[in-house]
Amino acid sequence: MFDQAAGLRAVGMPGAVRLVPVVLSRDVDTAFEALCLLGDGLRALGYPVVALDASCLERPGRVGLSSLLHAGADAPRVNSARLTPGADPAGHGWPSLPAQNGLNSLLRLAASQGARHALTRLAAVFALNTVVLVLAPKEWLSVLFEDSAAQPLVPFALQPSGVVDAYSAIKVLSQAGGMQPVLFPVANDLPDEVAQRSMEALLDTADKHLGFQPECLPWGAGVAAQGPLASTAGPWVLRMADSALAMGGDDGPPSAWSTTNQREALVPQLWSC
């Protein structure tokens, strides 16, 4: 059972930007569905939300992560409400920013100075109390959030290819990134018993070969919600808000990190351009 009060406790924690890594896999549609459900749910519960999309390249004349980072550490923090009119083509009420180049620059910063330094730089861009959804490939997230207390969200369809991708993601995120990923299953049109067997096979394989079973969002969380998101998606949305990595930015307190070990960073090329 998820602790619904945990998210309310998080609301009372001032002075932090909350970062939520979301895995961008080959199944782009499922990844974006999860991103939209999470963003809409957070906004319905009163959180300011910004999404950073690693599949989208920044372009001249359009606000993107790269331009925000280039503004410098002394630039005012960005309020998500001011970004919405020009950065919300889907009409969700919260902005999704092109972020491929910006995240690449942060990956290089993480490789040279450590992931904590890179995430502190990222958090310094946005207004305090903003929830920043970072949609990127598992390899990118394992470098950028390495050894942090972040719990990456792994959306996947309960089909053979989706289960394989989910296992690959939790393996990379746990072994290379030192994090505890959270599975976000989407049943699609599969019969319940088939979807259940797929889920059990994934968890059993992770337990046997990785030595742990990742946490999993409630069954049906990935299905399009019926009715107000605040009531239907509230429990798992609050859970993700509460488990987000809280960063105070340049002028805030440091966040908790699991270890101080710095692995050699391997930054792959993005497969989706």
HEC per residue, 144-167: HCCCECCCCEEEEECCHHHHHHHH
pLDDT at 170 over 80: yes
Averaged confidence pLDDT in the chain: 80
pLDDT of residue 83: 79
CB contact set of 250 (below 8 Å; sequence gap of 6+): 73, 120, 124
The DSSP bridge partners found for residue 133 are: 20, 51
Q: What is the 3-state secondary structure (H, E, C) of 44-104?
A: HCCCCEEEEECCCCCCCCCCCHHHHHHCCCCCCCECHHHHHHHHCCCCCCCCEEECHHHHH
Enter the pTM of the model.
Answer: 0.83
pLDDT at 182 over 90: yes
Q: Please tell me the distance from the alpha carbon of residue 48 to that of residue 248, in angstroms, as a whole number.
A: 16
Which has the higher per-residue pLDDT, 63 or 177?
177
Q: Which of 39-43, 76-80, 101-105, 244-248 has the lowest mean pLDDT?
A: 76-80
Percent of the chain scored above 70 by pLDDT?
A: 75
When pLDDT is cut at 50, 70 and 90, the band that residue 248 belongs to is confident
When pLDDT is cut at 50, 70 and 90, the band that residue 84 belongs to is low
The DSSP bridge partners found for residue 183 are: 154, 216
Q: Which domains does the chain have, with CATH numbers?
A: 4-247 (3.40.50)
pLDDT of residue 229: 38
Q: Which of 18-22, 69-73, 138-142, 176-180 has the lowest mean pLDDT?
A: 69-73
How far apart, in Å, are the Cα atoms of 257 and each of 6, 21, 237? Answer: 20, 15, 23
Q: What mean pLDDT is predicted for residues 146-163?
A: 92
pLDDT of residue 142: 97
Which has the higher per-residue pLDDT, 95 or 232?
95
pLDDT of residue 50: 96
CB-CB contact of 25 with 138 (8 Å): yes
Q: Please tell me the distance from the alpha carbon of residue 92 to that of residue 81, in angstroms, as a whole number.
A: 12
pLDDT of residue 5: 46
pLDDT of residue 54: 96
